[in-house]
Amino acid sequence: MTSRTFDRSGLPGTVQALPTTGCIFDRLWLCPEAPMYDAILFDLDGTLIDTESIALTTGMAAFAAHGHQVDAAFMHALVGKDEPTASRIICAALPGADLTAINRHWRKGFNEGVEAGLDLKPGARDLLPALSHPLAIVTSTGREGAHRKLGIAGIARAFAHVVTLDDVRAPKPDPEPYLLAASLFRVSPARCLVFEDSETGAEAAHRAGCVVVQVPDVVPSEGRWAHHLAPDLLTGARMAGLL
């Protein structure tokens, strides 16, 4: 888990500070200008950056190269999962697969796709600089990979903290990653708004007690774990009262 100086100077637009009212009941929501949330927490892959499409394409190619024709539904079952969990799913479905060779092939293709450039998900470039709240990333990606993606996408400086797979004992859908993020800001999880794309991530945030906006990416969702189900980040932010 990495802490960063809270700085959005590298993002377009102007960050507007919330009005200071002097109301002693701000934290109790009794003041009209009181902020609804103390921190905003974002999943990374599929929520802020478009990596899931790269993973889908390169993953199917890797399986095919090693004699396993898998479909999109199989790949969708891996979305939002940390690598150890995804490996268990693959081994159960394909008992004879050479997982080491497949992962090596897949990782090479995926890394090449990431290095070629990462697109932000719709609304991300407008939403991030519009928020005055403290922001954190909560991802099932390892530390090195998470920071590399943030750097390539050009949004690393927006986040005060980055919570990764390497920082927790139990990854999503366990609530630990989101509980850790809330503790880093010293706020209640109930005062944290979370943006997630996957069922796994939305479940983790919901179980932590956070308010959840789910913006499905490659896998459709009925929003079982979400308080707000939205087609894009900006719509989700409006539904949650941020904009």
Q: Which residues participate in catalysis according to the annotation?
A: 43, 45
Q: What angle do CA 40, 206, 164 make, to 5 degrees?
A: 60
Residue 155 burial (10 A CB sphere; 0-12, 13-18, 19+): buried
The β-bridge partners of 194 are 41, 212
Q: What angle do CA 226, 8, 166 make, to 5 degrees?
A: 60
Decide: 3 and 160 in contact? Cβ < 8 Å: yes
Contacting residues for 181 by C-beta, under 8 A, at least 6 apart: 39, 41, 136, 138, 161, 163, 192
Tokens of 78: 């891996």
- Other beta carbons within 10 angstroms of residue 12's beta carbon come to 9
Please state, in angstroms and rounded to a whole number, the distance separating the CA atoms of residues 59 and 240.
34
